[in-house]
Structure 1
Amino acid sequence: MPVFRPGSWLNPESRPDGCGTATAGRFAVPLAGGRFDRHFHDDDELWFFTAGKAKILLDGSEQYVQAGDIVLSPAGAPHDIVEVYEEVRGFFSETGHPVGGRVGHLHTSEEDAAGHVVPARPLPADFPSL
């Protein structure tokens, strides 16, 4: 089985024959100069946060996330990282595409596709503790 190192990710061009996972890889948003894009997928996507604290937008609802959290973005649900309180790192996986499904980040506007700076902010008082 292939090993995917930093800077590479599992995708339709690199995945082994018979692999049902559409894509998989790592993501990071640093405290300074981090960027992200509001997007959706034709299939479900899982995020597993391995480090950090942030606020995300998932299908119109803002939620706090931190290391250890798993987020499920259902097919078609816009999602985004909107604030970071500590550098976040994690792992993503698109679960598999429906027939005719598109790969990767899909956008509803050119503005969303261009991405945005993710502001670094102090940890909010209402941030949940583990």
Structure 2
Amino acid sequence: MPVLEPGTWLNPDTRPDWCEIGSIGRFAVPLEGGRFERHHHDDHEVWFIAEGKAKIFVDGGERYVQAGDIVLTRAGDIHDIVEVYETVRGFFLESGHPAGGRIGHLDGVAHDVPGLPLPADFPER
């Protein structure tokens, strides 16, 4: 079984033959100098937020996320990280491409992600 080193990700070109996952890997958006892409996929995607706090765009609206959250995105839904309040580190998994499905970020538009102070309405846990 392969071990993914930081900065690498598994995709249909690099995964073992027995693996049906579309792609899997890690992501990070630093508090200063962060960039991300507003994009969608031909398959479903799951994020696990391992560290940090941010505002994301998913399911047609903006939501706060923080360490421990799991974000579910349906195939075709646009998603993004729009603000960070602490450096965000996470894990992503694309469920597997349907027949004829395309790989990776589709219609991605890269942008700077501002690092901002934590908003007063950010939920406490």
TM-score bracket, shorter-length normalisation: over 0.9
The alignment of Structure 1 onto Structure 2 pairs a total of residues equal to: 125
Q: Indicate yes or no: 2:19 matched with 1:24.
A: no
| 1:94 corresponding residue in structure 2 | 94
| 1:8 corresponding residue in structure 2 | 8
Moved over 3 A (4+): none
CA drift of 1:60 comes to: 2.0
**1:79-112 CA-partner distances (Å, limit 9, x unpaired):** 00000000000000000110000010001xxxx5
**1:52-91 CA-partner distances (Å, limit 9, x unpaired):** 0000001320000000000001000000000000000000
Letter in 2 for 1:60: G
**Structure 1 unpaired stretches of 5+:** none
Matched residues, percent identical? 67
CA distance in 2, matches of 1:70, 1:15: 23
Residue 119 of structure 1: which of 98, 114, 117 is its match? 114
CA distance in 1, matches of 2:98, 2:49: 26
SS at match of 1:98: coil
CA distance in 2, matches of 1:7, 1:55: 23
**Structure 2 unpaired stretches of 5+:** none
What TM-score, normalized by structure 1, do the two folds share?
Answer: 0.94
Letter in 1 for 2:21: T
CA distance in 1, matches of 2:60, 2:111: 17
SS at match of 1:96: coil
SS at match of 1:18: coil
| 2:123 corresponding residue in structure 1 | 128
- Matched ranges for 1:46-61 at <5 A: 46-61=46-61
RMSD between superposed Cα atoms in Å: 0.8
- Matched ranges for 1:62-101 at <5 A: 62-101=62-101
**1:26-73 CA-partner distances (Å, limit 9, x unpaired):** 000001100001000000000000000000001320000000000001
CA drift of 1:14 comes to: 1.0
What TM-score, normalized by structure 2, do the two folds share?
Answer: 0.97
